[in-house]
Structure 1
Amino acid sequence: MTAGCTRRALLLSSGALAAAMATATGRRSAMAASQTVATRPAIRAGVLKFGTVSWELDTVRANRFDEEAGIALQLTELAGNQATQVALQAGAVDVIVSDWLWVSRMRSQGEALSFIPYSTALGALVVPAGSGISGIADLRGRRIGVAGSPLDKSWLLLRALSADRYGLALDRDAVPVFAAPPLLNGKLIDGELDAVLTYWPFAARLEAQGQRVLMTVSGMLEALGQAASVPSVGYVFKEQWARANPAALAGFQAAVAQARTLLAGTGAASDAAWNRLAPIMKAEDDATFRTLRDRFRDGIPRRWGEAEREGAAKLYSLLASLGGRELVGDGRTLAPGTFWTGAE
């Protein structure tokens, strides 16, 4: 064998050995990562693909806040709010986002669910930029688009405020149109509706297009003597699961808190986190992106203590009187245990 052939043989042998070593190292790293994940309790969260909760939980995973908190967060995309509720009840997921009215209703029916806050963001009543409507009193005879059904909480609050302050029965003195939020937004832009009462992400999109927010739902609450800082929706889970997995729940709360701190910030790190979320936010333009970001930040809970829980109980009583059994079931007062305060 020539010297050149010997050198080539040595190089090929060395390359094969290096490749084998790299493969073995990669396998060991993958096995170690797998073992690390296996030692962390998994939390399965049911989310809507384009729901705003995905912004928070995607931030948790992208920044590995779940790893830091000792958990493995897994996201399961579901088709709608009812699907998330069914998945939780069936045990297919551990955590979903829903409102505390539903949690209280389930508890009154014997299903022990509990709630921790996710967002205080509520909707708004929006009118066209050039509208002559300057206040609630001007809604008489107007076509009002309402996101959801006649039992929508914002609609009940608007009706209560209109009756209390202006003697208006909006279900009779106006023309309510109940439909899905995207359809209502389009009809307002096209001039087919005089006002739209809708959920905050859709109100934010209208605001970004130059439409005018006549009144927020938070403003309605304040006008009715209610606390506007009460969370509208939160993370919901089975009480039995929480008691059996206190470390996992604590880790989930810690990871979410880190994500909120990052998203609420005003520095370069927060900007980068939001820019990374832009594709799932589905913002049509920069103005929409900024408005969605700002309204999300506005809804991040700042406090959650006894005062807020008492405010929720007071609001429950008001909503129960407005919506009746169709809204809250048989529970005339907020069910004890609706709000998770710890394993005690």
Structure 2
Amino acid sequence: MRPVFLALVALAALLAQPAHAADPLRLALQATGTTVWEMAVVSAYGLDKEAGLDLKITELASPEAGKIALMGGSADVIVSDWLWVARERAGGHGLAFSPVSTGIGAVMTKDLAIKSVKDLAGKKLGVAGGPLDKSWLLLKAHALRQGVDLEKAASIVYGAPPLLAEKAAQGEIDAVLEFWNFATDLEARGFRRAIDMAQVERALGATSDPVVTGYVFDEKFATAHGQTLARFFAMMKKAKTLIATNDEAWAKAAPRVPAKDKATLDLYRKRYVEAFPKGSLAEQEADAAKLFAVLAATGGEALVGSAKSLPPGTFYKAAP
């Protein structure tokens, strides 16, 4: 009986030991972003516990608030675009970017005569995000290559995405360049994607659908917590796959989606899945570098800062 007794004592001692604490990770996320959809699935399926992570999530009203949180040291990871990361690196801030989505907007309209940038001449075009929005600058560059100066040929109206969407719905503007989620909402309301910005990106030199947004963090944090980040990335990939393939998981995410009916929800899910990054990290970085050159030439220092090309290290490469 002594071996059995010793085994029981050893088991009791093992069970009495405190569990290994999960690694903390502070996330600052836009409340209307797709990452909160994924977090609903993470929570529902316990993926954070499975990954050994203790997530501290703060939901914020805007992307700018997330940038402030990261730069101020109150967040470890946010979701933003590689253009901002490149600008910050050029300014001496060691941020890094890991791809999440290729989701980008489109020129939306109900005018059947608008099929290309040339057809925007003489039209009233709404532009979400302002004169330095990267989609607008890419569209302008694409139009210039076809001999159309949109700022002269069209009547441009800048504004907030929801306001411009309503103006388009009310017929006050002929077309609107919208972010992907507002474009999806307009699509569900009978608008069509006259000019898809993913096609514009390819026309400007990209080989595939370029990455737009990703996880952003300080490279010093990545050096010190590489394994934590690796488990976070794997966890989020699992959540994304569940949303794409599992209707039960999608039902967990759906309450966070700004849509009221099933048809619109289905369209959001379709566009979300279409935006999963493709190709290798090297290919994604190469496409970003090509578009950065276009943006630098079009937007100048006001957009990209002092950088003339995509700064090395913008795209995060985990240590072996």
- When normalised by structure 1's length, the TM-score is 0.85
> Is 2:102 the partner of 1:120?
yes
Report the 3-state secondary structure (helix = DSSP H, G, I; strand = E; otherwise coil) of the residue aligned with 1:39.
coil
**Correspondent of 1:46 among 28, 31, 45:** 28
Q: Which amino acid aligns with 2:202?
A: E
User: Does the CA-based 8 Å contact 2:123-2:174 persist in structure 1?
Assistant: yes
Are residues 65 and 304 of structure 1, via their aligned partners in 2, closer, same or farther at CA, if it must alter by over 3 Å?
farther
**Match runs of 1:233-244 below 5 Å:** 233-244=213-224
Report the CA distance between 1:282 and its aligned residue: 2.2
Aligned to 2:171: 191
Deviations 1:175-221 (A, max 9, x none): 11111111111111100010010100000011111111102110111
Match of 2:130 in 1: 149
Structure 1 counterpart of 2:73, which letter? G
Asked whether the equivalents of residues 242 and 343 of structure 1 are also in contact (C-alpha less than 8 Å), the reply is no
What residue identity is the alignment partner of 1:163? L
Contact 1:230 1:308 (8 Å CA) reproduced? yes
Q: In structure 2, what is the equivalent of residue 20 of structure 1?
A: none
Match of 2:58 among 68, 72, 76: 76
Q: Deviations over 1:39-63 (max 9, x none)?
A: 1111111011122221123322221
Aligned residues: 304
Alignment of 1:150-165 (within 5 A): 150-165=131-146
- Hey, what does 1:87 align to over in structure 2? 69
Specify the alignment match of 1:8 in structure 2.
Answer: none
Contact 2:244–2:269 (CA<8 Å) still a contact in 1? no
Matches within 5 A, 1:306-317: 306-317=282-293
AA aligned to 1:43 is L
- Aligned equivalents of 1:280, 1:260: Cα separation in 2: 14
Aligned pair 1:258/2:234, yes or no?
no
Question: Which is greater in Rg?
Answer: 1
Which one-letter code corresponds to 1:133 in the other structure? Answer: I
> Residue 10 of structure 2 corresponds to which residue in structure 1?
none
Q: Distance in 2 between matches of 1:99 and 1:47?
A: 13
Which residue does 2:92 correspond to in 1? 110
Q: Secondary structure at the match of 2:312?
A: coil
Residue ranges of structure 1 left out of the alignment (5+ in a row) = 1-31
Distance 1:305 1:172 in 2: 38
The 5-angstrom pairing of residues 173-322 of structure 1 reads 173-265=153-245, 270-322=246-298
Give the distance between the partners of 1:322 and 1:251, measured in 2 at CA: 38
TM-score (structure 2 length as normaliser) = 0.91
- Given that 1:151 and 1:327 are in contact with CA atoms closer than 8 Å, whether structure 2 keeps it comes out as yes
- Name the aligned partner's letter for residue 225 of structure 1: G
Whether the 8 Å CA contact 2:47–2:235 is kept in 1: the answer is yes
Gaps of 5+ in 2: 1-14
User: Helix, strand or coil: the match of 2:162?
Assistant: helix
The CA distance in 1 between the partners of 2:281 and 2:92, in whole Å, is 25
Q: In the aligned structure 1, how far is the partner of 2:115 from the partner of 2:238?
A: 41
Give me the identity figure in percent: 42
Partner of 1:27: none
1:107 shift after superposition: 1.1
Q: Distance in 1 between matches of 2:33 and 2:169?
A: 23
SS of 1:213 mapped into structure 2: strand
| Structure 2: distance between partners of 1:245 and 1:293 | 32
The answer as to whether partners of 1:127 and 1:214 remain within 8 angstroms in 2 is yes
Identify which of 44, 51, 55 aligns with 1:62: 44
Give the whole-Å Cα distance in 2 for the aligned partners of 1:227 and 1:73: 36
Q: CA deviation at 1:226?
A: 2.0
